Structure 1
Amino acid sequence: MRQASHRLEVPTRGRGFIEITAAVRRFVAEQGIREGLLTVWCRHTSASLIVQENASPDVLQDLGAFLARLAPEGPHYRHDDEGPDDMPAHLRMVLTQVQLSIPVLEGAPVLGTWQGVFLCEHRAAPHRREVVLHLIGQ
């Protein structure tokens, strides 16, 4: 059994979805582990991770609009230390996830034809986010 880990820095331009599938695939391929489990971990409370369709940009636009309706910005939150998008960003993170577990078979993450791995930036301003990749297997 072997393990490998890597810190992936993801710059964002503000609210939106950044596909990191290529970086995830590259990391797994470089490790030489044929079968195992990949953990993808987001180290933030106002950003998150999803596996989602990567073929039609309409899917991500609709998802962003849906999250905005569920957790709208506004003056009705107590927690607004960093502005009106602060608490809605935390709520959107809770509605998604900060950790993914992806099986690895034949040296590659097992993703469907149209599945991609995305970092979700829930804040309006650009940030530098850190995603930790951890692979265990043989």
Structure 2
Amino acid sequence: MWTQHTLTLPARRRGFHLITREVAQAVPELARTRAGLLHVFLQHTSASLTLNENASPDVRRDFERYFNHAVPEDWREWEHTLEGPDDMPAHIKASLLGPSLTLPVQGGRLALGTWQGIYLCEHRDDGGARRLLLTLHGESA
């Protein structure tokens, strides 16, 4: 079985946001999948995806602080500045984390670890709505 859905997430403020529930709900066929893979692809260049701690919001705030420190907006060497001071740093952060995740599916649900959740990493102040292409490949139950 193959199926594909587009999920449009509403605009979010800059930061790291849990979207696990929204992703799972956007793929109704997930519940009927015995074993498979869900590929989650973000169709943008200034945001990214990652999988990490889903319980403590401190972790998400620490991710944001770390990346803002590691890739500062005020670095004088940036050339690509026409779209604002947060644009080029957002592209760098997105490249470091990446635009996609491939997640296992088992018994009708995502087979994530106890403390794992999917993050949308919004690297712009006004990034707008974000589109995800969700592709499920698996064996039906």
Tell me the equivalent position of 1:112: 113
In structure 2, distance between residues paired with 1:136 and 1:27:
15
Query: Please, what TM-score do these two structures have when normalized by structure 2?
Result: 0.91
Q: Which residue identity lines up with residue 50 of structure 2 in the other structure?
A: I
Tell me the equivalent position of 1:70: 70
Of 14-23 and 62-71, deviating more is 14-23
Tell me the equivalent position of 1:20: 19
Correspondence 1:92-107 to 2 at 5 A = 92-107=93-108
Whether the aligned pair in 1 keeps the contact of 2:46 and 2:93 (CA below 8 Å) is yes
Aligned structure 1 segments of 4 or more residues deviating by more than 6 angstroms? none
Query: What's the CA shift for 1:26?
Result: 2.2
Show structure 1 runs of 5+ residues with no match. none
- Structure 2 residue 86 is the aligned partner of structure 1 residue 85: yes
- Structure 2 residue 110 is the aligned partner of structure 1 residue 123: no
- Structure 2 residue 35 is the aligned partner of structure 1 residue 35: yes
Show structure 2 runs of 5+ residues with no match. none
Look up the SS of the partner of 1:35 in the other structure: strand
Tell me the equivalent position of 1:45: 45
Query: Please, what TM-score do these two structures have when normalized by structure 1?
Result: 0.93
Q: Which residue identity lines up with residue 88 of structure 1 in the other structure?
A: P
Distance 1:83 1:91, change over 3 A: same
Look up the SS of the partner of 1:79 in the other structure: coil
In structure 1, distance between residues paired with 2:69 and 2:91:
14
Query: What's the CA shift for 1:126?
Result: 4.4
- How many residue pairs match? The answer is 136
In structure 2, distance between residues paired with 1:94 and 1:50:
12
Q: Which residue identity lines up with residue 10 of structure 2 in the other structure?
A: P
Whether the aligned pair in 2 keeps the contact of 1:21 and 1:116 (CA below 8 Å) is yes
Whether the aligned pair in 2 keeps the contact of 1:34 and 1:107 (CA below 8 Å) is yes
Q: Which residue identity lines up with residue 54 of structure 2 in the other structure?
A: N
Query: What's the CA shift for 1:72?
Result: 0.5
Q: Which residue identity lines up with residue 86 of structure 2 in the other structure?
A: D
Query: What's the CA shift for 1:25?
Result: 2.2
Distance 1:43 1:126, change over 3 A: closer
